Amino acid sequence: MNRNTVRLSATLATVDPLRHTPAGLPVVEFILAHASQQSEAGQERQIEFEMAAKATGELAIRIAQVSQGSRVEVQGFLNRKHRMSRQVVLHVTNMDMI
């Protein structure tokens, strides 16, 4: 089985306005900011990054209503931003408030 699953706790750094696809599907794009301390090769490392993310459907509507700066835990999968892109975006399929 090929796996592509991401689970991340983060802060909603930015949330773009809700939009709809030509087929009427709600879509929201947002930036997740993560900061934590992780262990690698027996050493503690300070981790900080921002990641582009998007959600569709009912979840997009929920996320569009959440305030920037809110802490969330998201689950989803990684894919290219669009067919011709090399940029990776997290497609969020589940979100819980922390």
Coil, helix or strand at residue 4: coil
* Amino acid at the residue 12: L
Q: What is the pLDDT of residues 65-76, one digit of tens each?
A: 999 999 999 999
Q: What is the pLDDT of residues 7-65, one digit of tens each?
A: 999 999 999 999 999 999 999 999 999 999 999 999 999 999 999 999 999 999 999 99
In angstroms, the Cα distances linking 93 to 22, 30, 31, 50 are: 21, 13, 15, 18
- What's the burial of 30, exposed, middle or buried (CB within 10 Å: 0-12/13-18/19+)? buried
Q: What is the DSSP letter of 81?
A: S
Rounded to 5 degrees, what are φ and ψ at 57? 70, -150
> What residue ranges define each of the domains in the chain, with the CATH number in brackets?
6-97 (2.40.50.140)
**What is the C-alpha separation between 19 and 15, in angstroms, rounded?**
12
pTM for this predicted structure:
0.92
